[in-house]
Structure 1
Amino acid sequence: MAVAKVQQLIEENALIVFSKSYCPYCVRAKQLLKSLGATGKIIELDNEKDGAAMQTALVEISKQRTVPNIFIKGKHLGGCDDTVAAHRNGTLVPMLKDAGAIIVVEA
C-alpha cells in the first residue's frame, strides 16, 4: 500500500523531496532547490503518520535508504550529494526546467 502511495506522489509531482525535518542533508538540498527557484512537493517523513512505511517503500522504489530522496519528473535524482553534484555539473537546472519545476521568467 505504501509503495503505491509513494509511486503516485512521485508521478504526480514534477519535483518531490522525501525529507526529514531534522536532517542537515535534507536542509541543504531543500535550500539549494529553493535558491534555484524550484517549486515542488516536500514530504517530511518524520511528520507523516506512515512515514516509516513510506521510507521503506522508497527503498523498494529507488534502492536508496537515506534522505533526502529526490525525484524530478518521475526520475530518481538521489540524495543531497547527488543534487549538489548535478547543480555543479550544470544538469540540475535544465532537469528542473524540463520538469516544469522552475518558473522561467523571460526578459
Structure 2
Amino acid sequence: TLLEVSPVSFNPHMSASEFVDKALSDDACVVFSKSYCPFCDKVKALLNSLNASFKVYELDNMDGGSAIQQELGKRTGATSVPRVFIAKESIGGCDDTQKAHRDGKLSAKLASAGAIKN
C-alpha cells in the first residue's frame, strides 16, 4: 500500500500553526485524519486507488492533535476530518475530495503536485 501513516508526535516547541505549515511543506498531498473515521477511510482508499503518494496524520493518535485540528479549522473554516491538502491547497473533506475526483480534477491536482507514484 502507498499509505504513509505518520507516528509523529506533536513537537511541544512548535505551535500548531508551525506544525501544519511544516506538514504541508514536507509532502505534496497531506490528509489530516482520525483513525476511527469512516469518511477518512474513504478518502485514503480513494487516494490509494489513484496511486497517490500522501502523508496521513492521525490526529487522535497524536499529542496536540486537537490543537492541530483547531488550527485546520482556522485555515479552512471546518474542523471536521478528513482535511485533504494538495500542494498546500485545501481540497476539503471527504465529499469535496470525492467531488473533485468525479469532476476529473483530483488526479490532475495530484499529478501537477507530483503526488502520483508511477
TM, length-normalised to structure 1? 0.93
The answer to whether the aligner puts 1:53 opposite 2:67 as a matched pair is yes
1:32 is aligned to 46
Deviations 1:23-75 (A, max 9, x none): 01000010000011001110000000110111011111211110000000010
Aligned equivalents of 1:62, 1:88: Cα separation in 2: 22
Any conservation in 2 of the 1:18–1:69 contact (CA below 8 Å)?
yes
2:84 is aligned to 70
2:99 partner letter: A
The runs of at least 4 aligned residues of structure 1 exceeding 6 Å deviation read none
Correspondences of 1:73-92 after superposition (within 5 Å): 73-92=87-106
Aligned equivalents of 1:4, 1:63: Cα separation in 2: 18
Aligned equivalents of 2:87, 2:26: Cα separation in 1: 9
TM, length-normalised to structure 2? 0.85
Shift of 1:11: 2.1
Structure 1 unmatched ranges of 5 or more:
none
Shift of 1:93: 0.3
1:85 partner letter: K
Aligned equivalents of 1:82, 1:11: Cα separation in 2: 22
Structure 2 unmatched ranges of 5 or more:
1-14
1:22 is aligned to 36
Any conservation in 2 of the 1:3–1:61 contact (CA below 8 Å)?
no
2:6 is aligned to none
- The structure with the greater share of residues assigned to helix is 1
